[in-house]
Amino acid sequence: MPVLATPAWRLECAAVLFDMDGTLVDSSRCVDRTWRAWCARHGLDAEALFRVSHGRRNHETVALVAPHLDVAREVADLVRAEEACLDGIVPVPGAPELLAALPRDRWAVVTSAWRRLAGLRLRAAGLPEPGVLVTADDVAAGKPDPEGYLKAAADLGVEPERCVVLEDAPAGLAAARAAGMRAVAVRTTMGDGRLAARWSVDDLEALRYEED
């Protein structure tokens, strides 16, 4: 049985499902710049926004923090800004090596980004696009709803309970658990108690994939 492991623990699994931003791709400079500029334009508290935005789709974040605005128009502006910002996008430490070790039919990406942005960021970070990529365009409900992770497992032909999810945000960890999957917290974005999880790593360098 394949195993995802660190020196401290081992998880048997049939597939590994990754969040993208903060888990595989470090896009923090672009995300921070885009949202701070948007908050400044509307007189909103950026720190309050960041407490709820990680792992959520843009329209959900806008509706949550500024329901008085025209959500569709604001999201269109954010789409243009995020797609134009690729400076400083790099892989999370250990991501290239871990993906290279995984067979193509044993991993997927489930992201709150839309499909075009996901492709742009994966390429900017020098990472391969997965055979199964579930984006905001593919689901009716975003994280913490489990729909995206359940769709990825189904597309890979793997039962949910045989999947391990790697996530850097509370909404994503909640989505994985709601899908009946084991969740590993990646402490690249938040290192505090908000990522309480049975299994956790600082980044992906601590992880290895083995075929037992």
Residue found by looking up tokens 């083995």 in the block:
210
Do the beta carbons of residue 46 and residue 35 sit within 8 Å?
Answer: yes
Q: List, by residue range, all CATH 1.10.150 domains of the chain.
A: 28-84
Its CATH architecture, for the domain 28-84, is Orthogonal Bundle (1.10)
| Residue 107 banded pLDDT, cuts 50, 70, 90 | very high
pLDDT at residue 1 greater than cutoff 90? no
- 165: which strand partners? 17, 183
Would you say 14 and 160 are in contact if contact means Cβ atoms under 8 Å apart? no
The residues pairing with 114 across neighbouring beta strands, listed in sequence order, are: none
Which residue shows structure tokens 């505090």?
192
> Which residues are tagged catalytic?
19, 21
Instruction: Give the tens place of pLDDT for each residue, 155-201.
Output: 999 999 999 999 998 989 999 999 999 999 999 987 666 677 789 99
Query: pLDDT digits over 109-159, tens only?
Result: 999 999 999 999 999 999 999 999 999 999 999 999 999 999 999 999 999
pTM over 0.85: yes
d(CA 136, CA 162): 24
Distance CA 150, CA 134 (A): 10
Q: pLDDT tens digit string along 46-81?
A: 999 998 887 788 989 999 999 999 999 999 999 999
pLDDT tens, position by position, 9-48: 999 999 999 999 999 999 989 989 999 999 999 999 999 9
CATH assignment, 2-27+89-211: 3.40.50.1000
**Cis peptide bond upstream of 144, omega within 30:** yes
Q: Which two tokens stand for residue 102?
A: 């995984």
pLDDT of residue 163: 98
**pLDDT score recorded for residue 212:** 66
Alpha-carbon torsion (137, 139, 142, 147), positive or negative: negative
**Dist. CA 79–CA 74, nearest whole Å:** 9
Find out whether the peptide bond into 91 is cis, omega within 30 degrees of 0.
no
Domain with CATH 3.40.50.1000 in the chain: 2-27+89-211
Alpha helix segments (H runs only) across the chain: 28-42, 46-53, 58-65, 71-84, 95-101, 115-124, 147-156, 170-178
